Structures are given as structure tokens and as C-alpha cells.
Amino acid sequence: MSTYVILANYTEQGAKRIREIGKATEQWKDDIEKAGGKLVSFYSLMGSYDFVVIVEYPNDESALQRLLTLAMRGDFKTTTCKAFSSEEYAKIVKRI
């Protein structure tokens, strides 16, 4: 499984529906699991981003499909980073 860090900001539409979106976290977890992934953690933030979600998916295609599905709803904009564990990083560095 690959790990992805998703930083997000509410859109104007999303901010108007923030109470509904807040209740949707359990549905997001179910949707992620149906796509073969796992919700690792979710944090609301203060600062440049409104929240961060850490998820795992079996591959980039599954992650992208889920992100595109969320984007179509229009409630928030995301910045996604693929993350590597310290073990994965060490293996990559050994190949340099």
C-alpha cells in the first residue's frame, strides 16, 4: 500500500455546507475502504489548510480515482503528496 498526504481547503460551497461535510467523515472512510484503501488519520487544521487526511491505497490509480471523485463534489480543493516511510526512503537511497 502507498501512503498519500492530502492537504485540503474548503471552497465557498464547502464552507456553506461545513456541518454536513463534518458528518461525512465516516462515509469518506467507507468510500476509501471500498476503493481498497485505508483512512489512516484526519486532522482539522489552523493555518494555510483547513484539514489534512492521511490515506493508504494499493496504487496511484486507486488514489487518483478517489481524489477525482471528491473533486467532482466541489466542496474542497486538495494538494496531494505521495509519502514514503523511512524504510522505503532508506531502500531508495541505497540504490543511488
Domain boundaries, the chain: 2-94
Q: What is the pLDDT along the chain (96 residues), one digit of tens a residue?
A: 999 999 999 999 988 988 887 676 777 788 888 888 999 999 999 999 999 999 999 999 999 998 898 888 888 899 999 999 999 999 999 999
Beta carbons within 10 angstroms of residue 69's beta carbon: 11
What's the pTM value of the predicted model, to 2 decimals?
A: 0.86
Closest of 4, 62, 68 to residue 34, by C-alpha: 62
Helix (H) or strand (E) holding 6: strand 2-10
Domain 2-94, what fold?
A: Alpha-Beta Plaits (3.30.70)
Q: Is the dihedral of CA 9, 30, 59, 44 positive or negative?
A: positive
Residue 29 CB partners (closer than 8 Å, separation 6+): 39
What is the rounded CA–CA span in Å between residue 86 and residue 14? 35
